[in-house]
A = this chain, B = another copy of it.
Amino acid sequence: MSKLRRYLPIFEWLPGYGREELASDGLAGLIVAIMLVPQGMAYALLAGLPPEVGLYASIVPLVFYGVLGSSRALAVGPVAIVSLMVASTLGELHAGGSAGYLSGAILLAFLSGAILLGMGLARLGFLVNFLSHPVISGFSSAAALVIGFSQLKYLLGIDIPRTHLITETIGHAVSQIGQTNLVTFGIAATSLTILLVFKTRLAGWLAALGVARGHAQVLAKAGPLVAVFLTTMAVWLLGLDQSAGVMIVADIPSGLPPLAAPGFDMALIQELFPAAALIALVGFLESVSVAKSLASKRRQKVDANQELIALGAANIGASFTGGYPVAGGFGRSLVNFTAGAVTPLASIITAGLIAITVLFLTPLIYFLPQATLAAIIVIAVFDLIDVKALRDAWAYNRADAASLMVTFAAVLSVGVELGIVFGAALSIALYLWRTSRPHMAEVGRVGETEHFRNVLRHKVTTDPKVLMVRVDESLYFANTAYLEDALLARVSERPEIEHLVLIMSAVNFIDASALESLERMIERLRNAGVTLHLAEVKGPVMDRLDRVSFLQELGKGRVFLSTHEASDALSGGARIRAA
């Protein structure tokens, strides 16, 4: 039973489930469903897929996640960035709307699901930690721009070829601005206005009118519903699709999603695999950060590996029911949480309501203008553009700011997939670069205390015969040559030095390359008449040195417990004040 619980979190909450929870989850499920219908269709269009694919991806995946997920509030379904990545992957292979395009999207869902599931079973959830915040921030901001501009064609009713280069998109838009369909643009402008007002003002107005804060916040999320209702009615009543050429959602096949296995074409699988891995990673990253931030508000726990399994199952579920890759969406999960979802049953209720929609309600959205869906996307992704993150990073640490900017630029110039890979590689390279040139500080005694500090920052006393250097980094292959050169240079500059004490308080490990380098250094220093000593070696580091003959190689050199002890033993009374 405990094993079952571990893999099926549903057994944790289902036994104690009662009426109160059901009311709460029911309301949240309804609100998310109302939000998800237009959003799902909009993101499917963004991915270059028919709108119903977005709805299909909002049924079975939600049920699977509800049973397996460890987060109580994550709302799974189509999300903007993953949709963009699907479009950018498949856009290179197939014309939008072709049968190959759709089956490619289904295969992507299966592959990323299988990758997520495999990572979860292999407990590889930690891999996501190797994407740094600046890289994620640069990636999201750039992706949001790409997504936003990709909607220009729907907002203006003009024809812009799909491209990942934002400059090309803008160029096309400018050159065809004369062909703008003014009615379409009017619908878009109205939708944008409604969405913005709901998003930024309505809660305040309602609060001023005395509506309870919680209710006001939920009502403020109804912007998409209102925009969809008003613009659909306008198109229907005025016949704008016929008279003004406004593009509408039109016929959506009614009935439940088709149940079919994805087509397993080995060549295509090989071709799509890298993109599927990136989609899996990015989708997981978005989901797990949302889930963690919501869980911490209610002191619940999210298990990254269980999330991998649940999202994997959700994606595989999508692939068998005509859907495309899904993830936990930020905005939607926040609505779910705010609206009162207490268990994943809320998601299952959402799924049920979406199923009812595709079964019976598709005629109601026949006249829904695509411009309205585009407006919903634009407003949703606008929040992803994070200028503050760049400003903060710039103020704090230029290397982080560089990662952010390079990722941003790479996504815009070479595309979403390569862009994030490039950013991640750069952030790792910058870390390696930093650790390959460790900070070293010569230290001296502070007054008559037992404290030793950097001679450049503090007023300390030193002994010209004893050089005491604190190395502020673990010793490993990438920094041994630097360390060796720097220390030997210091020694050769000051011939009066007889002892070199390496203070190891910040050295957390010494790898085999660094060990060799230290042994070589002992030898070279000995030739120069200098004895190498160590001080403040940590327990785990000392344990390893004890395993090999290093302590014998030290010869006359000693290992001191503290810098103070080293100084007393090597300098005796002789001390002079540092300049």
Contact = CB atoms under 8 A, between A and B. Distances in A.
Given A133-B477, A547-B395, A472 B512 contact: no
A506 B505 contact: yes
A129 B478 contact: yes
A396 B133 CA distance: 35
Nearest to A289: B481
Contact of A512 (B397, B520, B547): B397
Contacts of A524: 296
B432 A130 contact: yes
A133 B505 contact: no
A132 interface: yes
A508 B476 CA distance: 15
Interface stretch (A52-60, A243-251, A351-359, A537-545): A537-545
A305 to B, nearest CB: 12
Given A427-B477, A548-B395, A126 B482 contact: yes
Interface in A506-529: 506-509, 511-513, 515-516, 520, 524, 527-528
B436 A130 contact: yes
Given A130-B436, A454-B539, A508 B506 contact: yes
B538 A479 contact: no
B397 A436 contact: no
A3 interface: no
A438 B508 contact: yes
Contacts of A131: 477
Interface of A: 126, 129-134, 296, 299, 392-393, 395-397, 399-401, 427-428, 431-432, 434-436, 438-439, 450-451, 454, 457, 472-474, 476-482, 505-509, 511-513, 515-516, 520, 524, 527-528, 538-540, 544, 547-548, 562
Q: Nearest 8 CB-CB pairs, A to B?
A: A132-B477, A400-B512, A133-B513, A472-B508, A506-B506, A393-B512, A132-B513, A129-B481
Given A132-B511, A427-B477, 17 more contacts: A129-B477, A129-B478, A132-B476, A296-B520, A299-B527, A396-B515, A396-B547, A428-B428, A428-B432, A431-B477, A431-B478, A439-B508, A439-B540, A451-B562, A505-B505, A506-B506, A506-B507
